[in-house]
Structure 1
Amino acid sequence: MTTKRLLIGVSLLFCGLLLWGFLTFFERYTEEKDRGWDSEARRNLFLAAEKYLAAIGLESQQAENISILNGLSPNATLFIASSSQVYNPQRVAELLNWVDSGGHAIVVARTEGFDFDEQRSEERDWLLEELDVSIMEGHYEYSFEHPLQQLLGEDAELTPEQSPGEALREYNRRIDAGVSTEEEAETSQEKPRNPDVEPEDLVSLPTDHGTKIQLHFDASHLLYHPGLDDDTIDNAPVFWARVWRDDEAVPFMQFERGSGVITLLTDSGIWQSHRIGHFDHAYFLQLLAGSGDFVFLTRPRFDSLSYLARKYATEFFLAGALALLGWLFLRARRFGPLQPSPESARRSLLEHISACGHYYWRDDQCEQLLRGQRTELLRNLRATDTDSIARHKLAEKLSAATGLSKHDIIASLWGTPAASEETFTEQMRNLQRIEAVL
């Protein structure tokens, strides 16, 4: 008893020492690692814009068809990621009627497939034609970040002049040398959020508060309206801004239609997740959003087969396992002893006749067969009701014709039915010989 208590005390003391050492030397710390965008951010390019609008108290939602206009309130804001989504004159009329009632539409002009040499697009843009707006060639030297910046992360120091091969080699060299030094950490913390661009490439817009906001548009495609050069034209844009002073076209313009406004621009990337944090892009979105609901009308995005396989892999394998379990249960269920497998080969005609004869014999139906054959034969002989003398005369005639004895003919036609298989077979054979001579 004393040894047991001693062991318990030593164990408790050891556990107490371990607990004291853990609380004394354990130090909790947190570390954040940038693993890039998650699947939702990669699928929704405007996720950061949605979160920003939610932070300032505006409700936002996603839509994939212009028919959303039927349920929008007049004070809402509709962002259309491509003017091609207003795909016929009827949809253009619906959009303009909604704007006339007080709505605000922000439309990104479709620039894909535009041929500057012929000054036309592969497909008609009904909304731009209605607004009398055309697409013009802009500045091709536009660049705000390296193409590999999103892949390698914001901490990768890349310049637009570097080729992809040089950028990857420089990035790998920095990893091998160790980039987690205090000097580089301080440098990364002081890194500006805005890309290094020339001041003349920025668009400055005044606000109601007397300040100016700066925007960085992709100026490779610009918008032109005759009202930019002639103030007397009806339905001209009421507000626009140029990137450079000598530009004929502009990156965005606004039209007043009834009680609402249409904002037309060529660059939707300023509000995508990788650029909304640059300059005053987010604040510009807030100014255009108004106070009502904000709807993002983006192009439909269909999930790839690999994404769907990863998303529903658990349900797929669980359903497959349940189906396999049910099939095994169904195949394993049986009652009584296992029956032998039936023969697949078909028997011959003689075997079939023999089996039928044995069945009739066991079922006591042979006497009925013999009686029916006798009745039919006596009806043909017209000897259904005859006396013994007539029977003997008829037997003599049949004996001479068939070669059977008189006794066998009388036994077959009027005798007692057979009691054995041999007798039955002989009587049936005699009846068939008599029938053959009639």
Structure 2
Amino acid sequence: MTVKRLLIGGSLLFCALLVWGFLTFFERYTEERDRGWGPEARRNRFLAAEQYLAAVGLEPRRAENLSVVNGLSADATLFIASSSLVYNPQRVAELLDWVQSGGHAIVVARTEGFDVEEQRSEARDWLLEALNVSIMQGHEEYDFAQPLQQLLGEDAELGPQQSPGEALREYNRRIGKDDSTQKEAQAEIAREKPRNPEVEPQDLVSLTSDSGVEFQLHFNASHLLYHPGLDDNTVADAPVFWARVWRDDEAVPFMQFERGSGVITLLTDSEIWHSQRIGHFDHAYFLQLLAGNGEFVFLTRPRFESLSYLARKYAAEGFFAGALALLGWLLLRARRFGPLQPAPEAKRRSLLEHISACGHYYWQQDHCEQLLRGQRAELLRRLSATDADPGSRHKLAERLSAATGLSEHDIIASLWGIPAASEESFTEHMRTLQRIEAVL
């Protein structure tokens, strides 16, 4: 009993020491690691813009068809990701009518299919034609692609003279360090890494808001917009505001038109509001200035999910539905009432069996006498002996006996005798009548 108490006391003391050591030396800390973009950010390029607008008090939402303009209020803002979504004159008229009532439309001009040599687009753009705007070749195309940053997070950024392979090896080297060294490296990277990319000052567009705040924008000027009103103030329906990237540019990256009580903002670069670029310079502030006081609708191209994504998304529902279908099939196959019936024969019976079955059926239904009488009447008609007397019958029986080899008694019994009362006599009479018919 004493040994047992000592063991229990020692165990309790050991547990108490473990708890005291854990509470004394355990230190809780949190660490935030950037794992790159999530699935929603990869599917929606304007996710950061939506979250920013929601943070400043607006009501962003998404749409996939221009028919949404029929239900928008006059103080709403409609962002159209491509002017190709305004695909016919009727849609152009609906959009312009809504703008004239006070709406604000932000439209990105379609640049896909633009022929650099001929300075024209392969497809017709109804909205640009209505605004008398054309697409022109701009400066050398900028490179905004940062695939490693989207895949591995904010730490994976290419250096000035660094290839993607070198950047990936540098990223793996950093995450392989111990915790203290990794924290110091992350702090150093955060201090050295600027918010904006390195851009020549002449490539920036500097604007001033109505409140006197100066802000800068960085457009992709590979394609620019041109309107005759940029060079001639007397042109009707000219843009009321625009900005050039370089002073000697003939075209501009964006321009604004007034139509009635509303405004149309036309630009060629929508990537300034993509998730990877909205944080650069003052792009987010520019989007806030363009937004009205009502809801903000993003009209983008319809996106259809891949089959593999839908299979992963609805795997649980598909498995549950398949299990229910399998259970229903098993219940259906297992249901049975009464004794099990033998399987029917797969073979079809022969012609002789079929004739025999038909004969038995007619015999049971008393149809054989009718068949025999019909056969007799047909033969007597052909022999012209329907109303023959006994003498004529005897002479006819002699002739038929000589021709068929049958006895006169059998011939007279078959033609004028009593109908058969049994199966054997019926068969004999029918065979005799058939032999007589054969010699006629």
TM over 0.5: yes
CA RMSD across the alignment:
3.8
In the TM superposition, residue 75 of structure 1 has moved relative to its aligned partner by: 1.8
How many residues align structurally? Answer: 427
Matching of residues 372-391 of structure 1 within 5 Å: 372-374=374-376, 390-391=389-390
Aligned partner letter, 1:427: H
TM-score (norm 1): 0.81
Distance in 1, matches of 2:412 and 2:145, equals 121
Alpha carbons of 1:396 and 1:146: their partners in 2 closer, same or farther (altered >3 Å)?
Answer: closer
Equivalent residue for 2:425, pick from 423, 426, 436: 423
Q: Which moved more, 1:334-343 or 1:282-291?
A: 334-343
For the pair 1:64 / 2:64, whether they are aligned, the reply is yes
Q: Which amino acid aligns with 1:184?
A: A
Equivalent residue of 1:263, what SS? Answer: strand
Conservation of the 8 A alpha-carbon contact between 2:74 and 2:102: yes
1:400 positional shift = 4.5
Question: Does the CA-based 8 Å contact 1:374-1:413 persist in structure 2?
Answer: yes
| Contact kept in structure 2, 1:104 and 1:262, CA below 8 Å | yes
**Unaligned residue ranges in structure 2 (runs of 5+):** none
The residue type paired with residue 53 of structure 1 is L
Distance 1:409 1:116 in 2: 110
> In structure 1, the residue corresponding to 2:45 is in which secondary structure?
coil
Aligned to 2:252: 250
Structure 1, unaligned runs of 5 or more: none
**CA shift for structure 1 position 233:** 4.1
Deviation at 1:311, TM superposition (A): 2.9
Aligned match of 1:277: 279
> Structure 1's 88 and 433: CA in aligned 2 closer, same or farther, altered over 3 A?
closer
Aligned to 1:77: 77
362 and 193 in structure 1: CA distance in 2 versus 1, 3 angstrom threshold: same
| Distance across 2 between alignment mates of 1:248 and 1:372 | 110
CA distance in 2, matches of 1:437, 1:114: 98
SS in 1 for 2:430: helix
- C-alpha distance in 2, partners of 1:76/1:130? 22
- Letter aligned with residue 185 of structure 1: Q
Cα deviations across residues 253-292 of structure 1 (Å, max 9, x unaligned)? 2222222212122211111111112222212111110102
Residue 211 of structure 1: how far off its partner (Å): 2.3
Q: Report the CA distance shift for 1:372/1:291 in structure 2 as closer, same or farther (over 3 A).
A: same
Counterpart residue number, 2:183 = 182
Identity of aligned residues (%): 72
Aligned to 1:38: 38
CA distance in 1, matches of 2:270, 2:384: 111
**8 A Cα contact 2:60 2:297, kept in partner:** yes
Q: Structure 2: how far apart are the matches of 1:167 and 1:265? A: 34
Check whether the contact 2:148–2:156 (CA below 8 A) recurs between aligned residues. no
Query: What pairs with 1:289-300 in structure 2 (closer than 5 Å)?
Result: 289-300=291-302
Matched with 1:394 is 393
Question: SS at 2:258's partner residue?
Answer: strand
Tell me what 1:338 maps to. 341
Q: Which residues in structure 2 correspond to 1:146-185 (within 5 Å)?
A: 146-176=146-176, 181-185=182-186
Please, which moves more after superposition, 326-335 or 198-207? 326-335
Change (3 A) 1:421 1:57: same
Confirm or deny: 8 A CA contact 2:138 2:223 kept in the other structure: yes
C-alpha distance in 2 between matches for 1:159 and 1:122: 38
Amino acid at match of 2:109: A
1:212-251 mapped onto 2 (5 Å cutoff): 212-251=214-253
The alignment partner of 1:148 has SS state of: helix
Conservation of the 8 A alpha-carbon contact between 1:145 and 1:195: no
